[in-house]
Chains A and B, each alone.
Chain A
Amino acid sequence: MDVTTFWFLVVAFLWTGYFVLEGFDFGVGALLPLVARGEAERRQALATIGPVWDGNEVWLITAVGAMFAAFPAWYSGFLSGFYLPLVMVLAGLIVRGVALEWRGKVEGRERAVCDAGIVTGSVLTAFLWGGIFGHMLSGTLAGTLVGGALSLSLAMLHGGVFLALKTTGPLRARARRAALTAAAVAVPAAALALPGVPAAIGPAGAAGADWTAHPLVWAAAVAAMVALAAGVALVWRRREGWAFTATAGSITLLTATVFAVLWQAPLPGLTVAGAASGPYTLGLLTWIGLIALPFVLGYQAWTYWVFRKRVTA
C-alpha cells in the first residue's frame, strides 16, 4: 500500500472515531430534555459523558489536522466549500463546549441556560455533519436533509443506548425508550440514504448504479444497515452492551461507506493523489503516527475503564 492510500485510511479512521465517539455524546446532549427529569437526573446524564466528551472532540481536531497535513487541497477545498455550514458547526461546538464546562460552576437559571446550550449545540452539530456529508455525496437538498436527519437520529439512538448502558434507575428506562423512538427515524432514514451512498460513486444522483463495479462498498452499506437493525433489536431485548457495540459498528460501517465513495473523488474535480502532500511529509507523519497512536488509544481506553461503572442519580 502506498503512503497516500495509507493516509487516506488514517483520515477516514479519524473521522470514524470522531463520529462513533462524539456521536454518543451528541446523542446524550440532544436527549437531555427528553430523558432527564430534574437536576439530579440531568447531572446523572451529563456525568456519563463528562470525563470523555472533550477527548472525543479531539478526534475531530486530529481528523482535520491530518487532512491539512496529508491532503492540503482537500482540507482547504472542503473547508472553504462548506463555509457557512461549518461556521454553524463551529458556533454549535463553541456553545456546547462552554455550556458543558461551565454548567457545574453555576446555579439555578444559569444552569438552565447551559442546558439549552448543550441541547442546541448537540442537535445543531449532529444534524449539520450529516447534512454536510449528505450534500457532499448527493449535491442535492434532499440528500442534505436525509443525511442530516440520519446523523441526528443515529446520534440520538447511539446516545440513548449509551445512556441506558451507563445509568441506573428511571433515567435508564427512559433512555432505552428514547433510543427505540430515535430508531423509528434512524432506520427509515438509513434505508433511504444508504443505497444512495455507494451509488454516488457514479455520476451524482445516479441511484441504482451497478453494484458489481464496487461490491465491497455495497457490502459495507448493507452491513451498516444490518448492524443498525441488530442494535435496535438488542436494545429492545435490553442487551445494552451489545446494542452499543452494534450502533457503534453501524456508524463505523456507514462512515466507511462514505469514505469509500470519497476515495474516488474527495471533492468534485479532485483526486486523492492530486490533493496529497509530498512523500517526505507523509512518510514522517506515518512513523510519528504509528508510534503515538497506540498510546493515545491506550490512555483513552483507560479513561473509559476508570469510569466504567454505571452512574446513579
Chain B
Amino acid sequence: MDIFLQQVLNGLVLGSVYALVALGYTMVYGILGLINFAHGEVVMIGAMVALTVLNGLAGAAIGAPPQVVIAAALAAAIAVCMGLSFSIERVAYRPLRRAPRLAPLITAIGVSILLQNIAMLIWGRQYHTFPRLLPPTPHNIAGATITDLQIGIMVVCAVIMGGLLVLVQRTRLGRAMRATAENPTVAGLMGVNINRIISATFVIGAAMGAVAGVLVAANYSIAHYSMGFTLGLKAFTAAVLGGIGNLGGAMLGGLLLGLIESIGAGYIGDLTGGFLGSHYQDVFAFLVLITVLVFRPTGLMGERVAERA
C-alpha cells in the first residue's frame, strides 16, 4: 500500500508541474487559438536565468540569507520571462493574427528553435547542476516519503492556480480576458483594449512558466538548454487532455497526466507479466489521451471550445 501511495504522490508532484506549464499553453490558446510552441522554451529560460542569479549571488558571497537569494532568482526569472514572452507575442504572433491559422504555428516553432540555440550559446551545451533550494529531508507519510521541496511544489502550484482562477473570474482584467476569448471583435467594440489583454495573457503565462521552470530545475537539480521541449510537449498534452482553452481543464489534465505516467510506469510491467514494461509509459499516457478524446472530443472540461466549433 505504501508503494501505491508513493506512486500517487510521485504523480501529484509531476502533475503539479505539468499543470503549471499547461496553464501557459491553455491561456494563450483560449484567447488566440494558437499553440504557443515556444512556451516550453520560456520555461527553460526561466530555469536558466534563476540558475545564473543563484550561482552569481552565491559566488559573490554577499552573505545574503538564502530566502533573499531565492527570491531574487525567482524575481529575475519571472521578469526575464515576462519580457521575453511579451516581445515574442509582439514580434512573432501579433502581425499574424489574421493570417492563415498555421502561420503563427510555424513562427512559434521558429521562435522555439531560436530560443533553444540562443540558450545554448549563452549557457553552453553542458548540463548544469541547479543549486539546492531546500534541504532534502524526507518526510514519512503512511510509509511513503516526500521532501520539503516536493510539498513546496504542490503548494506553490495550488496557490498560483488558485490565484489565476481568482484573477480570471473576479477581476476587471479577468473579465476582459474572458470577453476577448469569447469574441475579440465584440470585446474590442465594448472598449476592451484587445492588444493589451493579449499581451497580459502572454505575460502572465510566462510568469507561471518561469516559476515552473525554477521548480522543475530545483526538483531534479538539473538544468539544460533542451529541457523545455519535452516538458512543453507533456504540458501541452495535459492541456488538451483537460480541454484546451479551459483553466480548470489544464490543472485537471496536468494532474491526471502525472498520475497516469506514474502509476502506469509503476504497474504496467507487473500487470502484463513483464510483457509490456515501463518503456511504454508514454504510450500509456497517449493512449489514455486518445481514448478520452474519442469519447469526449473536446477534452475533459472543454465545453467552451465545442460551442465555438
A, B bound: no
Interface residues in chain A, defined as those with a beta carbon under 8 Å from any beta carbon in chain B: none
